[in-house]
């Protein structure tokens, strides 16, 4: 009963609470609530919670469970970091077997991506995209609800099966510390993670279908708000790349069914076939919306319209194109790290992020930025992504500089060999960590910026700043220590004893793993205080409710309606003709001031 | 009569084409899924053959007649499905439903032929599991799953047309189902060439 009350509290936002409306099944054919002769269906209690197809309720559920998933991922990350403190002997935490260490390690990655970053992005988009494009509801609201529940059930099954000696493989089954896997749990782990990804894809398709087909009159794709544009680009890349990952998983699963797995279903190889999703360039596809969020927050906080709007859109599109990494599968193409396209993408990914950041800086310098939690978080998120792209370029640059040896075999030989050695070290982990944590920081920025719209309350500014500082500090310590340990030659497959065979200085590596552990704790604190702030400000109703309709002077359509928006979102269909309809209403033609 | 354009009634707002857009993304996802499978299949096959190995197990029986029949059935079903689209665009619901029903019967025939072929191929019975068998079962099995989804989609759109939801003013459901169906035929064409013809 308590659980039902809590979920209902989560779903029934501020203004709707009085009338106990928790669901409506408005279809995509209705233009707004007034068109519905019978009015919205009102259902209370658990039926309302589980039956909701309102995009706003679904979005809130994603945000709540996504933050929870992020905390799980970061707790696992802390365990992994402290296990890495003792090299060559039983780890600090002593997982008991190499299986359990690998299961924890791999689950921390799958959880960070599929339980936290992607669902938070899909959740924010599910809530905001219909509002930003002036639509009365999400396309296929019931499919979106199905996607959410399938995702939630999928992650629960996956976590249980991983801890029941399942998981996505066992890289070192002959190790003296291996204790074997449960085949049925392993099989269920594979199926459940497929279910999770499929659900996220379904949710993504609902969002991008809304962007394309539910825009109001006058809003071309070039007039889309930057967040919606970034979701369109990111969603497009996910729809193209994640099915390839699912095909890898399907091959592994079929092979795993046999009495003797030959290659793909061999527990030693399962993770190797799937790991490309957490590697560059593909990992950058999950941070594309960070640009979109910063592109909303920084101009609004500066009180001026975004300059060179088209260039910003092109930068987001370019990041999408450069992050499509389904071809870069080391398991099937071991030499991919030395191939020109891979290396070029790893280096060029820096350019669109740098260009976008420059565009934001140019805009904010011309305005008068008012310091707020979401502004600080956005800047920190962009900086983190910039650092991620720089580390990525550094990581792949060995073969690129090696091309110089075609001209002079002796020139820079030592440096080039050293750069080549950097590949396969924990610098790859550092790139992944920087990208995904920058995505988390960007998402938290979005939560603080849109909290009045989503929850009907402003979140606490000081807590937001604290979150920014702890997340950034945590990333510097955790990601930075991985970069240093990569230079010291700690291998990327830290669950494997061979990862430590070539390290230059074991003591230094162990020291930096302690530093990384402290950074991981800070990351957990950073996400934890956000969850705490939401609990206090929203659930305990301590947040600021003043001027929640448009507290920041927003430029886009979501700020033109109530907070939280009513059923149907808008009292009448908006007409726009430029990308900043609240700054420049349609009649002015969108001329810049 | 005043023909000034300012006196004309406002144009009807463009209809949201949600279903077509979503199916477009779904088709893109499915093509990428099978693209991933074909990529692995062709790469592994190439490596085995270039090292002098045998790709298809010697005792396997991959005959061309069943896949040949399947591809012809599917090609005819393309025409039949297009007949459904043609009919619904002309408010000829009777012929549209006839075409949808015929497509579903052809789909059932394809499933039966797939099942029969899989039972006859003898891919692992004598020589145990092989890489080729794993990949062929993955590709054909995935295709059958996608195909069953396609049949459900076509049937659902047929029922909606029967209920009067689709007509010349609103053809999206039938058109979307037909696009998905054509993409399935395209995928099978690649399977036919890459797996069964080239072996």
Could you give the 3-state DSSP secondary structure of residue A482? helix
B30–A247 C-beta distance less than 8 A: no
Residue B48 lies in a domain: yes
Residue B20 lies in a domain: no
The number of folded domains in chain B is: 1
Determine the distance in angstroms separating the CA of A269 from the nearest CA of chain B, rounded to an integer. Answer: 14
Residue A232 lies in a domain: yes
pLDDT tens, position by position, A246-285: 999 999 999 988 667 778 888 888 999 999 999 989 999 9
The number of folded domains in chain A is: 1
Give the residue ranges of chain A where pLDDT is below 50.
Answer: 1-6, 9, 12-38, 589-593
Chain A window 216-235: which residues touch B at a Cβ cutoff of 8 Å?
A: 217
Give me the pLDDT at residue A28, please: 42
Q: How far apart are CA A558 and CA A365, in angstroms?
A: 25
Rg, chain B, Cα only:
22
A245/B125: higher pLDDT: A245
B129–A255 C-beta distance less than 8 A: yes
Residue B12 lies in a domain: no
Give me the pLDDT at residue A231, please: 97
Determine the distance in angstroms separating the CA of A209 from the nearest CA of chain B, rounded to an integer. Answer: 6
- Residue in B with minimal Cα distance to A135: B16
Residue B132 lies in a domain: yes
Determine the distance in angstroms separating the CA of A4 from the nearest CA of chain B, rounded to an integer. Answer: 33
Give me the pLDDT at residue A451, please: 94
Chain centroid to CA B195: 17
Residue A531 lies in a domain: yes
- In 3D space, the residue among A364, A359, A358 whose CA is nearest the CA of residue A304 turns out to be A364
Q: Judge whether residue B2 has pLDDT over 50.
A: no
Find the CATH number of the domain harbouring B119. Answer: 1.20.120.80
Substitution target in B11, B23, B29 with the highest count of A β-carbons within 10 Å is B29
Residue A202 touches partner B, C-beta closer than 8 Å: no
The shortest CB-CB distance from A244 to any of B17, B35, B135 is to B35
Residue A585 lies in a domain: no
Q: Report phi then psi at A170, rounded to 5.
A: -150, 100
Q: Quick one: what percent of chain A has pLDDT higher than 70? A: 84
Give me the pLDDT at residue A408, please: 65
Find the CATH number of the domain harbouring A360. Answer: 1.20.210.10
Q: Which residue carries 């010697």 as its tokens?
A: B58
Q: Which residue carries 């729809």 as its tokens?
A: A239
Determine the distance in angstroms separating the CA of A72 from the nearest CA of chain B, rounded to an integer. Answer: 30
Residue B145 lies in a domain: yes
According to DSSP, residue B195 is labeled: I
The shortest CB-CB distance from A205 to any of B26, B40, B43 is to B26
Residue B127 lies in a domain: yes
* Segments forming the whole domain that contains residue A225: 44-556
Give me the pLDDT at residue A95, please: 67
Residue A408 touches partner B, C-beta closer than 8 Å: no
Residue A247 touches partner B, C-beta closer than 8 Å: yes
Task: Tell me the pLDDT band of B140, cut-offs 50, 70 and 90.
Answer: very high
- In 3D space, the residue among A56, A121, A527, A90 whose CA is nearest the CA of residue A285 turns out to be A121
Mean pLDDT on B112-134: 83
A239–B32 C-beta distance less than 8 A: yes
Q: Which residues of B make CB contacts under 8 Å with A?
A: 13, 16-18, 20-22, 25-26, 28-30, 32-37, 39-40, 43, 124, 128-131, 134-135, 137-138, 141-142
Give me the pLDDT at residue A585, please: 72
Q: Report phi then psi at A218, rounded to 5.
A: 90, -10
Q: Which residues of A touch B26 (CB under 8 A)?
A: 205
Q: Which residue carries 């002796």 as its tokens?
A: A410
Residue B113 lies in a domain: yes
Give me the pLDDT at residue A378, please: 95
Give me the pLDDT at residue A20, please: 37
Residue A437 lies in a domain: yes
Determine the distance in angstroms separating the CA of B18 from the nearest CA of chain A, rounded to an integer. Answer: 6
* Segments forming the whole domain that contains residue B178: 28-197
Could you give the 3-state DSSP secondary structure of residue A302? helix
Task: Give helix B172-191 / helix B18-50 axis angle, nearest 10°.
Answer: 0
A213–B129 C-beta distance less than 8 A: no
Q: How far apart are CA A123 and CA A208, in angstroms?
A: 13
Q: Which residues of B touch A219 (CB under 8 A)?
A: none
Mean pLDDT on B99-121: 93
Residue B14 lies in a domain: no
């Amino acid at each position: 009963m308590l659980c039902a009350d809590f979920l209902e509290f989560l779903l029934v936002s501020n203004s709707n609470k009085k009338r106990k409306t928790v669901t409506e099944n408005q279809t995509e054919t209705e233009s707004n609530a007034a068109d519905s002769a019978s009015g919205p269906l009102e259902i209370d209690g658990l039926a309302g919670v589980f039956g909701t197809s309102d995009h706003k309720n679904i979005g809130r559920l994603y945000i709540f469970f996504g933050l929870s998933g992020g905390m799980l991922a970061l707790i696992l990350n802390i365990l992994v970091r402290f296990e890495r403190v003792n090299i060559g002997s039983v780890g600090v935490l002593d997982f008991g077997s190499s299986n359990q260490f690998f299961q924890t390690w791999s689950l921390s990655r799958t959880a960070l991506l599929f339980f936290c970053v992607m669902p938070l992005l899909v959740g924010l988009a599910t809530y905001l995209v219909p509002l930003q494009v002036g639509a009365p509801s999400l396309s296929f609201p019931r499919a979106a609800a199905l996607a959410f529940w399938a995702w939630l059930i999928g992650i629960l099954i996956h976590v249980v099966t991983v801890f029941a000696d399942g998981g996505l493989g066992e890289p070192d089954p002959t190790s003296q510390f291996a204790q074997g896997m449960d085949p049925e749990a392993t099989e269920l782990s594979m199926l459940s993670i497929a279910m999770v990804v499929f659900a996220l894809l379904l949710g993504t398709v609902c969002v991008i279908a809304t962007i394309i087909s539910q825009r109001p009159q006058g809003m071309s794709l070039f007039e889309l708000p930057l967040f919606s544009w970034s979701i369109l680009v990111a969603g497009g890349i996910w729809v193209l790349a994640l099915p390839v990952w699912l095909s890898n998983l399907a091959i592994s699963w079929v092979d795993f069914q046999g009495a003797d797995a030959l290659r793909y279903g061999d527990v030693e190889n399962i993770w190797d076939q799937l790991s490309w999703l957490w590697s560059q360039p593909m990992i950058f596809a999950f941070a594309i919306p960070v640009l979109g969020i910063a592109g909303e927050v920084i101009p609004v906080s500066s009180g001026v319209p975004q300059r060179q709007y088209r260039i910003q859109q092109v930068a987001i599109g370019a990041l999408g194109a450069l992050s499509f990494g389904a071809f870069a599968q080391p398991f099937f193409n071991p030499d991919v790290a030395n191939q020109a396209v891979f290396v070029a993408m790893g280096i060029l990914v820096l350019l669109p992020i740098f260009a976008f950041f420059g565009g934001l800086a140019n805009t904010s310098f011309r305005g008068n930025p008012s310091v707020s939690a979401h502004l600080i978080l956005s800047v920190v998120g962009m900086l983190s992504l910039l650092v991620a792209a720089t580390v990525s370029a550094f990581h792949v640059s060995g073969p690129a500089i090696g091309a110089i040896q075609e001209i002079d075999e002796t020139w820079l030989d030592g440096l080039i060999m050293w750069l080549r050695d950097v590949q396969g070290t924990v610098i790859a982990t550092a790139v992944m960590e920087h990208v995904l944590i920058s995505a988390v920081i960007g998402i938290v920025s979005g939560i603080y910026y849109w909290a009045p719209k989503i929850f009907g309350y402003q979140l606490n500014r000081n807590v937001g700043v604290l979150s920014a500082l702890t997340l950034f500090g945590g990333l510097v310590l955790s990601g930075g220590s991985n970069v240093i340990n990569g230079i010291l030659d700690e291998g990327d497959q830290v669950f494997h004893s061979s990862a430590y065979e070539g390290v230059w200085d074991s003591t230094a590596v162990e020291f930096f793993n302690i530093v990384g552990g402290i950074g991981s704790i800070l990351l957990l604190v950073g996400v934890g205080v956000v969850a705490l702030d939401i609990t206090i400000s929203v659930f305990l109703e301590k947040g600021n409710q003043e001027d929640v309709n448009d507290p920041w002077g927003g430029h886009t359509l979501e700020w033109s309606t109530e907070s939280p928006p009513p059923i149907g979102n808008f009292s009448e269909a908006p007409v726009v003709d430029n990308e900043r309809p609240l700054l420049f209403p349609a009649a002015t033609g969108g001329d810049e001031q | 009569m005043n023909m000034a354009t300012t006196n004309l009634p406002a144009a009807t707002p463009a209809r949201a084409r949600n279903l077509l857009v979503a199916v477009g993304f779904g088709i893109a996802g499915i093509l990428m899924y099978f693209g991933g499978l074909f990529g692995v299949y062709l790469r592994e096959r190439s490596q085995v053959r270039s090292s002098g190995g045998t790709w298809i197990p010697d005792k396997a029986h991959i005959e061309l007649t069943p896949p040949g029949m399947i591809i012809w059935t599917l090609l005819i079903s393309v025409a039949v499905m297009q007949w459904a689209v043609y009919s619904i665009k002309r408010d000829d619901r009777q012929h549209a439903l006839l075409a949808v029903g015929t497509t579903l019967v052809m789909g059932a025939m394809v499933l039966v032929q797939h099942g029969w072929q899989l039972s006859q191929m003898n891919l692992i019975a004598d020589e145990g599991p092989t890489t080729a068998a794993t990949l062929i079962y993955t590709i054909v099995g995935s295709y059958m799953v996608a195909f069953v989804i396609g049949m459900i989609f076509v049937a659902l759109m047929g029922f909606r047309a029967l209920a009067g939801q689709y007509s010349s003013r609103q053809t999206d459901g039938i058109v979307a189902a037909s696009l998905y169906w054509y993409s399935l035929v395209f995928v099978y064409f690649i399977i036919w060439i890459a797996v069964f013809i080239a072996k």
